[in-house]
Structure 1
Amino acid sequence: MNETIKTLRNHRSVRDFDSEREVNEDEIKTIIEAALAAPNWINGQQVSVIEVRDPERKAALAIAAGNQKWIEESTVFLVFCMDFFRAKLAAEKNGADFKIVDDIEAVIVGSTDVGIALGSAVAAAESMGLGTVPIGGIRRNSQTFVDVLNLPEYVFPISGLVVGHSKTIPGQKPRLPLNATLQKEHYDKKLQEEIIDQYDQTISSYMSERTDGQDTSNWSSKIAYFYDNGFDQYAKNSAPTLKKQGFHYK
């Protein structure tokens, strides 16, 4: 097994950072260069990353993301945005209509490009011995991120990434077994319920061990709750901010 595969398979999200240890500009430059070398749709390069180091700005964004204190504790916070502003400038330069932002395809393309870049950034940072944790909570109050980061039209914050030196590294959370997520030739619906039952037991045991018995919740209960009403804040704020930023999909 090569070192790249080892790094990818050893991932775990870190939420305990050493605020006294800097992540320097050369390290961030290397991470972002690696992230933006990743594939993207039609070479449109629909991703921009905002590097945030200012303590007051990080504090405001930490609150907006749901009081995620690790945003403040680490020395640098990266905000990954889908960015069609440059594409708009390209359309204007060439006298073309800018129709993509009126279709849901723009959100699919932009989110996919951000996801690929973010994954590459995580791998790059961890290969350098740094800890990371993605922050989807930035969409809880996406308008705050737009305002604080001065994002222009056609730019929307998709996810954040905390990068820093880990104080403690958590145990690796078990994933679904591969036969649940790697399908052969066609999707096997019948297999999923049985696998979920087994995985619920695995996650319940993991949570119990990690919390000294204080939390024995399983995977399906957490997913069920979140997709019932746990995502209300996201639903309330993401769509209006997207529309305000110029994405008028139907």
Structure 2
Amino acid sequence: MNAIVKSIKNHRSIRQYSDKDVPEEILNEILEASQAMPSSINSQEVSVVVVRDRLKKEKLAELTGNQSYIADAPVFLVFVMDMYKTYLAGEKTGNKQVIHESLEGIAAGVFDSGLAMGGSIIAAESLGLGIVPIGGVRRDPEEVIKLLNLPEYTYPLVGLVIGYPSDNSRQKPRFPLEAFKHNETYDKDKLKNLIDKYDANMEVYLKEIGREQEGNWSALTSNIYKSVYYPKVKPTLESQGFKFDK
């Protein structure tokens, strides 16, 4: 196993950070790795807003559901689906952009933003930093858009806390590879048994870290997925100029 694969497989979310700052040259290395990730047709329809200001981080911590580690860590990155850049390319060439009016365009923008954040995670952890992704930037997206001064045809998709860990958390168990890997076709018949086994493993893990009230993977996931937990996403996407009619 090479060092990169070992670093990836050692991933865990960090929620406690030291006071040590992340130097700009280190942060730029992380962002350059993120920028090097692929994007659909080389559209590069992703931008990252770097937030270091303490007051702004405190506001973002509040907007995301009082996640205090956003304010405590030295750097918070917000990954933005950015079709404003591509819109400007269309203005320059006289080609009217319509991709932001389609589910295809939104799917590509979301996926490419995920690839970019994945590159940041791998780079940051390989450099000895800790991270935790924050989907809560979609909890109150209108306020995040205002705070970050995001133009039309852009959308804040996810955040990433970066800093030096003051405490390494326990690594959360994953499904066995058999539940992730399907050979040639999707094998649905194996999943119920594998979910049962994973739920049992998660019950042990959650009890060991004092979170047994969460039950297991099935209980926690289904309890969240029984509703749309960030219902402001659709209307704020529309207010940013995105549509779903193509």
TM bracket (short chain): over 0.9
Partner residue in 1 for 2:4: 4
Assess, with a 3 A threshold, how the Cα gap between structure 1 residues 184 and 214 changes in structure 2: closer, same or farther.
closer
C-alpha contact 2:203 2:212 (8 A) present in aligned 1:
no
Q: Which residue pairs with 2:145 in the alignment? A: 146
Indicate how the Cα distance of structure 1 residues 101 and 6 shifts in structure 2: closer, same or farther if over 3 A, else same: same
Letter in 1 for 2:218: S
> Which residue does 2:173 correspond to in 1?
174
Partner of 1:227: 225
**Deviation at 1:127?**
0.5
Shift of 1:147: 0.3
User: SS in structure 1 opposite 2:78?
Assistant: strand
Match of 1:244 in 2: 239
The answer to whether the 8 Å contact 1:77/1:163 transfers is yes
Matching residue's letter, 2:223: Y
State how far apart, in whole Å, the 1-side matches of 2:54 and 2:233 are. 25
Give, in angstroms, the shift of residue 248 of structure 1.
Answer: 1.3
> Which amino acid is the alignment partner of residue 210 of structure 1?
I
Moved over 3 A (4+): 213-216
Is residue 2:41 matched to residue 1:46?
Answer: no
Does the residue aligned with 2:139 lie in a helix, a strand or coil? helix
| Aligned-partner Cα distance in 2 for 1:23–1:218 | 36
TM superposition shift of 1:16: 0.6
Q: Name the TM-score, length of structure 1 as normaliser.
A: 0.96
Q: Percent identity?
A: 42
Q: What are the residue-to-residue correspondences of 1:1-250 with 2, within 5 Å? A: 1-18=1-18, 20-211=19-210, 214-215=212-213, 217-229=215-227, 231-232=228-229, 234-235=230-231, 237-250=232-245
CA contact (8 A) 1:46 1:113 kept: yes
In 2: Cα distance, 1:214 partner to 1:222 partner: 11
RMSD of aligned residue pairs (Cα, Å):
1.0
Deviations 1:194-230 (A, max 9, x none): 111111000000000111x75461000011100013x
The 8 Å contact of residues 122 and 132 in structure 1, kept in 2 or not, is answered as yes
Asked if the contact 1:205/1:216 (under 8 Å) is kept, the reply is no
Contact 1:84/1:155 (8 A) holds in 2: yes
Count residues with an aligned counterpart.
245
CA displacement, residues 29-52 of structure 1 (integer Å, 9 cap, x when unaligned) = 000000010111100001100000
Q: Distance in 2 between matches of 1:132 and 1:36?
A: 18
SS in 2 for 1:81: strand
Q: TM-score, normalised by structure 2?
A: 0.97
